[in-house]
Structures are given as structure tokens and as C-alpha cells.
């Protein structure tokens, strides 16, 4: 019972209410004071340097924010300040005694009256530092008068308790109205900040004289004479009519190939620039910075404020939002094409590849038919030429019925651009021209801009792949989109097949094996050229061999008449490997091991084997087991491979595993070239051994040392390295299995016919979207080069470091394992933004250029245009009488004349017609008078007036003496 009584006593204690606890309003005031103390705004000794002209625009504005609560209502308190160096200690001590707060001194400062880019309170009051209390994002606006007065009283008490001399504002009413009420307190002084905002300008206050009446009545000063009011005036005129300015793009040529399309370019050139005016408005601000009351007249009857007579002009331009630009639009359409999944058959119709009779077949099956060792029908019936010929007939028949996506004129122009060598009449000169171009391209040293393709893994500039990308880029946007690209790609593949059939080198490709630094499509085209080169070499060797044999047969006709039949038989069996053609002999294989190895081995043992396929003696060496010189054999070149073939080969080898059998099989697959070289070496050096081959093929694996023989003489003795002596060595095994076969009779390591058909089949199976994906890196390459070229031509100030990062950024996006399409879109928007900036520079340059013999004026205008692109507002040197001012005046005058509207204020003079009515008028009134009593301390007073068509704003700062009132 005692414990229960104790617990009841404790419960009664906790229920006691302390009525001395602070209210919500007191907590709010205390919290504001804490924030001001945390930001060290209560230190009255801290004063800032007087701002210089332009500091509000070029200086660094900083801000810091915190959240505070009034009961359940959330506020955001923010401290804005211009970061500047502090004064030294001596100046602080001198000014700390009787100096006004810094904010009151700012009210009279004339250095930064109309800053082009600043907080609205900075523009209205000229403050360097202030604090703003605003309702939080999701909170309601402070509209009721009682709440506004409660907040203002809270601010006043906080400033009084903390001794803070930084003005504090409270945002009231709706946020879009930008109405602030504030207060600044100092030792014996106080400034109240008030704002009036109306939708319409009252007629009696629509001029300077009416605004002066308001200012003077608000001050309420009874001094006579009244101190003069300092006035600063700015009128803003807006120019939106560019009718007198030329088109941003060249007018269309309706007789040209593009058929009158705006922004059309020649085939092979990228479109560039805006299709519409990229400068939407030009704002001219005519400023009278220091005008004393009584020197200027501006009332409802007459005005002296003529913009042509204003001492200061400044200009700012407003850019159009997302103007249509050609390169950006083309890139966007091309990027969409990359995601299309339709095949050429789906786009152009399945009838293009249908079979017609038994004599023809699908081109995709040409490879399997041609590679059959023995065809039951003549090879001519299965040749690719007949298949392509019939396919062309079917295509042309269909296009007579249905109109093709690309007209013959456009198609022929594009194909002639892709294959300029086709215009050469004679085929020999055509082949020579292509061959010479390829050799020159291979030897060329790329400049910094041209080597951009190595970073992007695209294709060299002016190569066939690069030109194809430009054509697909143009066709996709201007000639039917997907259908046009499908048509062009089909014709391109047919042209490649024609060149393969007629052994014509493909124009615009580097000589040599595929360059793995380029895109896959470029590698495939290089592979096709390699096949054509091998085929041409065989044909030429065959012709040369036949000519030599004809000559020898005529000279030795009498001597070899008896052995003509046997000679003919031997010639047939010993046909050169370079002389293979598209007949069945092209797929000639060596005889089987059982059928050929026995006789050759026997001949070798008897020393009667005849050497074949010799090039030249090798370093005066002789065979180890005979005195015959060691000859370098004629060998086959290794097979060139593209990156997809290398990946496929790597996957096959990796799948063999790590077992002994898999390792052995992998080694045999990789030693095909070694085996071929061994067979050629045996044919060129009868009676040779493995040591002889190693001395030529891998000299490091043949160790030579001096030893003393039985007679005591030093002799040189050589042997295979320890690596070659390992049991199961692949070289030993390959040497034992190698037959005596010259290169001309071996199975080809590189079957050019088979590889060419693979390439052509790969091309035939590509969808238009796949083609665009292959060429996308080339398009980005061309776009970057175009941007750099246009940027240099227009002399646009750009971030060089950011531009240099674009290739690396593009490379990461294009060749990542999992492409991020959203980042690719952002990258293309970045390129489009750069194009827009260049188009804006071009537009400004065209507007502010005129024929003048004075070079200094031209330099001045060039600097003026460059400043407009970099700075928010640019001062016009010489105002309306300078070179830029005269151009601006002419632009406004032309716009006024084009409007064909008479001036509504003719009685104000003819010059008034040159400019429209000002879109905005800003009038700043300042003075320093004692207030509220004549014997009070003279303090700064300020009124900022904004007069616009749908806005009337008065922002006043009125100071009063709190000691002598």
C-alpha cells in the first residue's frame, strides 16, 4: 500500500504544467536570433568594401540556408552575400563609431544601379548582403495582414535583441508577385523596406513627375529648400522582328537534286545550322545614369528621354528555345534508325529474293554451292554472276510496278560519289586508279583531326565506309528514311558483288589486311578487297605463266615434240597455286596422304626429287646432310582476319578445354601455317631435315657451339634447343606429317573465294538498322569534325577542354558492352547544343556586320559579338553614335518601317518613330534627408520604380532616426 501511494504521488508531480514556458512566437524569435548568431551577422565591427562598378555581375554571390519553424509552419531562412575581401583593422576602427550600417550606405551607392543578373532585392535596393525568410516549398503563402505583421514584429525584435545590422526580409503574398517587407536596424537608425505591386500603371504615375510626387510625399520632409533628388533612368526596347535579316539557311534550289529542300547540302557534306532564327529578341537598354531633378522633363505632355540621346546603351540577347538545327535533327533521326528491326525484305518486299526456276538460286546459298568439291551441273550455271543478273532483273521488274524509294537520278549520284572510279571508261585504268588510291591511302599520315577515327574506332576520312555513312545519314533524313536506306544498301551490296565478279578493286580502302582499329564494316570491306587482290594476282600469274609456256614451247618445239604429251600432263598436274580461277581447279586440293606421300618419300630417299618453289639462297648456308645450298621457299601468306573472325576463333579454341587432348588439338589447329611452310621448305630443299628448317624459320632454336673432335681440332657443332627436344613437340610432329608439296600445290590457307562470299553474304543479311549501327561511329566522327570546323570558322568562344573530352566520351558510349541509350541521347543533345551556340554566333555576326573601311570598327564589332555570347549584358561603346549603336538603330528602324504602323506620339518628334514604345521603364530615385523630423539625422531614402505594360512596382527603402524623432 505504501508503494502504491508513492507511485500516485510521482504521477501527480509529472502532471504539473509550467506556465512560464516560452510560447511558439517566442521560440520563433529565439530561433531567428540563433541563426543570425550562427552566421556571425551580429558582429557590428565587420564591414565590407564599397563595391566597384560591375561587382554585382562579375562578383561571386553565395548563400546559406536553414529551416526554422513557427509552430507547425515551416520557413526557410537564407543568407545572401557578395563575397569580397574585408577591410583592414585601422579602417574598421575609424568607421565603427558613428558609421551607418552597410545596407544603408548601399542605398546611395551609384556603381551598380541596374545589374543585369542578380537577385531582385539586389536590383531594387543595391544591397550586398541580406537575409530572406520565405515559406517552405510545400507551405502556404503569408497573405493575411495579421500574419504579415506578426512576422515583421518577430524580425524587428530579433534584430533588436541580436544587434544584427544586416537587413532581414519576409516574403509575403503569393510567391510570383515577389513582394518583400523588411527592416534594417543600426545604432539610432532604422530602414523600412516596402513594396507596392499593381497589375496596371496608374495614369498619374506613368511618368517621372508623378513618381517624384510619390517619393517626396512618402519622405514627408519639411525642409526648405528640399535637397535635390538624384535620378537614374533606364528604358528597355525589345526587337523581335528580323524580317530585314537574311535566311539562316541558303534558299532552296528547286532545280537541284534535293528538290527545293531548305538546308539541303551536297552529297557527302553534313548539314549544319539553324532552320529558324536562333535569336528571338534583342533588348536595348538606354540609360541615363545620373540625372538631377529639374534637368530633365518627363510628364504626360512632353518627354526629353530620347533613346538616341541616352549617354549609355547596353544590349542583351534572348536566345530562342530549342531552335530547329539540321545536324541535331539528322543525328536524332539516324539514332532512331539504329533501333529499327525491319529487314530489307520487310521494307522493299519479299519478291526481291524469290527464286525463279531451277537455274537460279538464293544468293545466300551461293557459298555452299560454289564450295562443293564436285558439282553435278556445270559451274557456270551456279556462278554468282548469273544469280546477280537474275536478281537485278527481278528488282527492276518490281520497280516498274512500284516506284522505288530512291529515284534513278539520286541513286546514280550517290553511287557515283561512293564509287567515283566507275566513271572511268576503261577497266584497266579503273583498276589502276583504285589500286593507286589504296596504296596512297595506306601510306598517308593522318593529322590530329583526321586521326579522330582511331579514338572512335570508325573509319578514315574519305574512305568508302566514311562516305557511305554520310550518304546513309543524308538518305535517312531526306530521301524516304528506312526505305531509302534499304534501297541504297541493296544497291551498294550489288555493286560490291559486281566488283568481286569482275575483279575490280573497291575504291577508297587502304591496302593490306583489315585494320582492327576501324569499325567492323570497314574491316569487312577491306577483307573483300584482299580477296579481290588475291584473285587478280592469280589471274595475272596465270596469264604470265601461259605466255612464258607458249614462248618456251615455240622455241623448243622441235626438241620436245616427242615428249609433248607427257609434258602437257606434267604441266596440268603442276599447275601454279597463283593460277587458280573460278573454275573447279580453284578448289584444287592436295592428293591424299596415302596417294602422294609414298612416291614422294621414295623419290626423296633416292635423291631424285626435283626442287620446286625456290626463291633465293639463304645466307650462304648449306644443308646439314648435303652440300646443296639452303633455299628460302615460296610460301603462302597467312590469312587476314576481321575482329569477329578472331573472336570466333578464340571462342572455338577456348571451348577445347585444358585437357591433354584438347591442348593437342588446339596446337594442331594453330599450326596450319607452320605445316604449310614446312611442306614448302621440303619441296624447295630435297633431302633436308628438321634442323635445316629450324635454322631458317627459328634460328634461336638452333644452338651452335664449338667443340673439339677426336683429332683435337675445333669444329662447329649445332643442335636443336631444349624446347625442340621436348617429347611430343608440335614442330617434330608437324615435320613428320609434312609432305613434299610446293606452295602452288597446297591447299590454300586463305580461300579468297570462300571469304569473299562470306563477306557478301554477311552484307546481304544486314538490316538497315544494323547498317546504321555499324556506321554510327563514323557519323559521330563526321559530326565532331563538322562542329570543330564551324566553330573555327565562326570564331565562337568555346570550352576547349570540354570539346576535347567529347571523343573519349563518345568512345566509351559507342563501344561499351552494354550501351546506355539514354546517355547516347544526352551526348547527341550536347552536340546539338554546340550547334545551336554556333548558329547563334553566326546569326549575331551576320546582324552586326557591315561594309566599313575602318578596321578598328570591324575589330570593335567582332569583340562586341563575342561579348554578347559570353556576358549577360554588354555595354555599347559610343551608345547610339558608335558602330554597334548605328547597326542597332538601323535594325529598330527597319522593324518599325516593316510594321507599317504610324507612331502614336507623332507630336514628340520624328526621332521617336525610330523606336517602339519602351517595353519596360525603370526609374531610381535617391536622396538623403532628415526624417522623421527636420532636426533628425540625414539618412538615405530610395525608391525603385518599375513600369511595364502589365506591372507597376514601387520598391522603397525609407530610413528614419530613432534617437531624435
In this prediction, residues 206-235 reach a mean pLDDT of 87
pLDDT over threshold 60, residue 200: yes
C-alpha–C-alpha distance, residues 608 and 638, integer Å: 31
What DSSP letter does each residue of 548-587 carry, written as one string? HHHHHHHHTTTTSSTTHHHHHHHHHHT--GGG--SSGGGG
Instruction: Supply 842's cell numbers.
Output: 553566326
CA-to-CA distance for 686 and 682, rounded, in angstroms? Answer: 6
Section 216-239 average pLDDT:
86
pLDDT at 79: 94
- State pLDDT tens for residues 257-275: 444 455 556 788 888 888 8
The string of pLDDT tens digits covering residues 789-838 is 888 877 776 666 677 788 888 888 887 777 778 888 888 888 888 888 88
The pLDDT, as a whole number, for residue 700 is 87
State residue 273's pLDDT score: 84
Longest Cα separation, the chain = 149
Please, how many CA atoms are within 13 Å of residue 17, restricted to the half-sphere of its CB? 2
The answer as to whether 880 is a domain residue is no
The domain boundary residue, chosen from 749, 783, 803: 749
Identify whether the C-beta of residue 199 lies closer than 8 Å to the C-beta of residue 952. Answer: yes
Domain total in the chain = 2
Tell me the whole-structure pTM to 2 decimals.
Answer: 0.71
**Residue 200 CA from chain centroid, whole number:** 48
More confident residue, 88 or 248: 248
Confidence of residue 421 (pLDDT cuts 50, 70, 90): confident
Q: What is the DSSP string of 939-958?
A: EEEEEEEEEETTEEEEEEEE
Residue with cell 529487314: 343
Is 592 within a domain? no
User: Which of 733, 749, 765 delimits the end of a domain?
Assistant: 749
Dihedral sign, Cα of residue 95, residue 100, residue 103, residue 104: negative
Would you state the cell numbers that stand for residue 852, as one nine-digit string?
Answer: 566599313
What band does 901 get if pLDDT is binned at 50, 70 and 90?
Answer: low
Q: Is residue 305 included in any domain, yes or no?
A: no
| Residue 438 belongs to a domain | no
Q: What is the mean pLDDT of residues 648-669?
A: 67
* Structural domain boundaries enclosing 650: 641-749
Contact 329, 895 (CB under 8 A): no
**For 465, which DSSP code?**
H
510, 526 contact by CB (below 8 A): yes
Q: Is 778 exposed, middle or buried (0-12, 13-18, 19+ CB in 10 A)?
A: buried
* Domain-embedded: residue 113: yes
Q: What pLDDT is recorded for position 98?
A: 63
Domain end residue (candidates: 749, 781, 797): 749
Q: Is the pLDDT of residue 602 over 90?
A: no
pLDDT at 712 (0 to 100): 67
Of 506, 499, 551, the closest CA to residue 526 belongs to: 506
**pLDDT for the residue numbered 556:** 66
- Per-residue pLDDT at 193: 95
932 lies in a domain? Answer: yes
pLDDT value at position 611? 86
For the chain, the average pLDDT equals 77
Least confident of 6-10, 184-188, 557-561, 637-641: 6-10
Of the two residues 562 and 544, the one the predictor is more confident about is 544
Please, which pLDDT band fits residue 159 given cuts at 50, 70 and 90? Answer: very high
Judged against a pLDDT cut of 90, whether residue 156 lies above it is answered with: yes
Of the spans 366-380, 573-587, 716-730, which averages the highest pLDDT?
Answer: 716-730
pLDDT band at 622 (very low <50, low <70, confident <90, very high): confident
Position 53 in a domain: yes
Q: Is the pLDDT of residue 355 over 50?
A: no
pLDDT tens-place string over residues 52-108: 887 888 888 899 999 998 888 899 999 999 887 655 544 444 445 567 888 999 899
Do the beta carbons of residue 87 and residue 49 sit within 8 Å? yes
Q: Is residue 165 part of a domain?
A: yes
Amino acid at each position: 500500500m505504501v508503494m502504491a501511494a508513492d507511485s500516485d504521488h510521482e504521477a501527480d508531480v509529472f502532471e504539473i504544467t509550467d506556465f512560464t514556458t516560452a510560447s511558439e512566437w517566442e521560440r520563433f524569435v529565439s530561433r531567428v536570433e540563433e541563426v543570425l548568431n550562427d552566421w556571425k551577422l551580429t558582429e557590428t565591427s565587420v564591414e565590407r568594401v564599397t563595391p566597384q562598378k560591375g561587382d554585382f555581375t562579375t562578383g561571386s554571390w553565395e548563400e546559406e540556408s536553414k529551416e526554422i519553424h513557427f509552430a507547425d509552419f515551416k520557413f526557410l531562412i537564407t543568407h545572401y552575400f557578395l563575397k569580397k575581401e574585408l577591410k583592414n583593422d585601422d579602417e574598421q576602427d575609424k568607421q565603427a563609431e558613428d558609421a551607418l550600417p552597410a545596407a544603408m550606405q548601399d542605398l546611395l551607392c551609384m556603381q551598380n544601379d541596374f545589374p543585369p543578373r542578380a537577385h531582385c532585392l539586389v536590383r531594387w535596393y543595391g544591397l550586398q548582403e541580406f537575409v530572406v525568410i520565405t515559406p517552405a516549398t510545400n507551405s502556404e503563402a503569408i497573405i493575411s495582414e495579421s500574419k504579415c505583421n506578426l512576422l515583421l514584429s518577430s524580425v524587428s525584435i530579433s534584430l533588436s535583441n541580436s544587434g544584427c545590422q544586416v537587413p532581414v526580409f519576409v516574403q509575403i503574398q503569393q510567391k510570383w508577385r515577389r513582394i518583400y517587407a523588411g527592416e534594417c536596424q543600426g545604432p539610432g537608425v532604422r530602414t523600412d523596406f516596402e513594396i507596392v505591386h499593381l497589375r496596371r500603371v496608374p495614369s498619374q504615375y506613368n511618368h517621372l513627375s508623378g513618381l517624384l510626387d510619390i517619393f517626396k510625399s512618402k519622405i514627408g520632409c519639411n525642409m526648405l529648400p528640399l535637397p535635390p533628388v538624384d535620378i537614374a533612368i533606364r528604358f528597355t526596347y525589345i526587337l523581335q522582328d528580323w524580317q530585314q535579316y537574311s535566311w539562316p539557311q541558303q534558299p532552296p534550289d528547286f532545280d537541284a537534286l534535293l528538290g527545293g529542300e531548305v538546308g539541303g547540302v551536297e552529297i557527302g557534306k553534313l548539314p549544319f545550322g539553324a532552320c529558324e532564327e536562333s535569336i528571338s529578341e534583342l533588348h536595348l537598354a538606354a540609360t541615363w545614369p545620373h540625372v538631377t531633378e529639374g534637368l530633365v522633363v518627363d510628364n504626360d505632355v512632353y518627354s526629353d528621354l530620347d533613346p538616341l540621346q541616352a549617354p549609355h546603351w547596353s544590349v542583351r540577347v534572348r536566345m530562342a528555345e530549342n531552335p530547329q538545327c539540321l545536324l541535331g535533327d539528322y543525328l536524332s533521326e539516324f539514332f532512331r534508325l539504329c533501333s529499327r528491326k525491319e529487314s530489307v525484305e520487310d521494307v522493299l518486299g519479299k519478291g526481291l529474293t524469290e527464286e525463279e526456276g531451277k537455274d537460279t538460286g538464293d544468293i545466300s546459298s551461293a557459298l555452299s554451292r560454289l564450295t562443293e568439291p564436285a558439282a553435278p551441273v556445270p559451274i557456270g550455271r551456279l556462278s554468282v554472276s548469273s544469280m546477280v543478273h537474275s536478281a537485278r532483273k527481278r528488282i527492276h521488274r518490281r520497280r516498274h510496278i512500284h516506284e522505288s524509294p530512291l529515284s534513278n537520278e539520286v541513286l546514280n549520284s550517290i553511287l557515283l560519289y561512293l564509287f567515283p572510279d566507275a566513271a572511268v571508261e576503261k577497266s584497266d585504268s579503273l583498276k589502276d586508279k583504285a589500286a593507286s588510291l589504296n596504296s596512297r591511302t595506306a601510306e598517308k599520315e593522318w593529322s590530329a583531326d583526321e586521326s579522330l577515327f582511331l579514338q572512335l574506332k570508325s573509319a578514315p576520312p574519305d574512305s568508302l565506309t566514311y562516305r557511305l555513312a554520310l550518304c546513309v545519314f543524308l538518305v535517312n533524313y531526306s530521301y524516304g528514311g528506312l526505305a531509302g536506306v534499304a534501297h541504297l544498301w541493296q544497291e551498294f551490296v550489288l555493286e560490291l558483288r559486281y566488283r568481286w565478279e569482275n575483279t575490280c578493286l573497291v575504291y577508297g580502302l587502304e591496302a593490306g589486311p583489315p585494320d582492327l582499329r576501324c569499325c567492323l564494316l570497314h574491316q569487312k570491306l577491306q577483307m573483300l578487297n584482299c580477296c579481290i587482290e588475291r584473285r587478280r594476282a592469280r589471274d595475272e600469274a596465270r596469264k604470265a605463266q601461259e605466255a612464258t609456256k607458249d614462248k618456251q614451247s615455240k622455241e623448243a618445239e622441235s626438241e620436245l615434240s616427242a615428249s609433248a604429251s607427257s609434258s602437257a600432263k606434267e604441266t596440268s598436274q603442276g599447275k601454279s597455286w597463283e593460277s587458280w580461277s573460278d573454275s573447279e581447279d580453284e578448289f584444287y586440293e592436295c592428293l591424299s596422304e596415302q596417294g602422294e606421300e609414298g612416291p614422294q618419300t621414295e623419290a626423296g630417299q633416292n635423291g631424285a626429287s626435283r626442287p620446286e618453289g625456290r626463291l633465293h639462297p639463304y645466307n650462304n648456308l648449306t644443308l646439314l646432310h648435303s652440300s646443296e645450298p639452303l633455299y628460302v621457299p615460296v610460301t603462302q601468306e597467312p590469312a587476314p582476319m576481321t575482329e569477329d573472325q578472331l573472336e570466333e576463333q578464340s571462342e572455338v579454341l577456348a571451348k577445347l578445354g585444358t585437357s591433354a587432348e584438347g591442348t593437342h588439338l588446339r596446337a594442331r589447329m594453330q599450326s596450319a601455317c607452320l605445316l604449310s611452310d614446312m611442306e614448302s621448305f621440303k619441296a624447295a630443299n630435297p633431302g633436308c631435315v628438321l634442323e635445316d628448317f629450324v635454322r631458317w624459320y627459328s634460328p634461336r632454336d638452333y644452338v651452335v657451339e664449338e667443340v673439339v673432335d677426336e683429332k683435337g681440332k675445333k669444329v662447329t657443332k649445332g643442335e636443336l634447343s631444349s624446347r625442340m627436344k621436348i617429347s611430343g613437340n608440335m614442330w617434330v610432329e608437324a615435320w613428320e606429317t609434312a609432305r613434299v608439296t610446293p606452295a602452288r600445290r597446297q591447299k590454300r590457307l586463305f580461300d579468297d573465294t570462300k571469304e569473299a562470299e562470306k563477306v557478301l553474304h554477311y552484307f546481304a543479311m544486314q538490316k538497315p538498322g544494323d547498317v546504321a549501327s555499324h556506321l554510327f561511329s563514323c557519323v559521330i566522327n563526321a559530326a565532331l569534325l563538322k562542329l570543330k570546323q564551324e566553330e573555327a570558322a565562326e570564331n565562337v568562344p568555346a570550352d576547349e577542354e570540354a570539346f576535347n573530352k567529347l571523343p573519349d566520351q563518345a568512345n566509351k558510349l559507342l563501344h561499351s558492352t552494354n550501351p546506355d541509350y539514354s546517355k547516347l541521347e544526352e551526348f547527341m543533345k550536347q552536340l546539338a547544343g554546340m550547334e545551336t551556340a554556333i548558329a547563334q554566333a553566326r546569326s549575331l555576326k551576320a546582324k552586326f556586320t557591315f561594309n566599313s573601311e575602318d578596321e578598328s570598327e570591324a575589330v570593335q564589332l567582332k569583340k562586341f559579338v563575342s561579348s554578347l555570347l559570353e556576358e549577360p549584358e554588354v555595354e555599347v561603346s559610343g551608345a547610339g553614335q558608335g558602330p554597334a549603336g548605328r547597326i542597332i538603330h538601323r535594325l529598330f528602324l527597319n522593324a518599325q518601317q516593316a510594321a507599317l504602323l504610324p507612331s502614336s506620339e507623332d507630336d514628340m518628334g520624328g526621332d521617336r518613330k525610330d523606336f517602339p514604345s519602351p517595353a519596360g521603364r525603370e526609374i531610381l530615385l535617391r536622396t538623403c534627408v532628415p526624417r522623421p523630423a527636420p532636426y533628425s539625422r540625414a539618412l538615405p531614402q530610395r525608391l525603385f520604380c518599375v513600369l511595364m505594360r502589365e506591372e507597376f512596382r514601387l520598391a522603397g527603402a525609407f530610413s528614419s532616426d530613432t534617437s531624435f524623432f
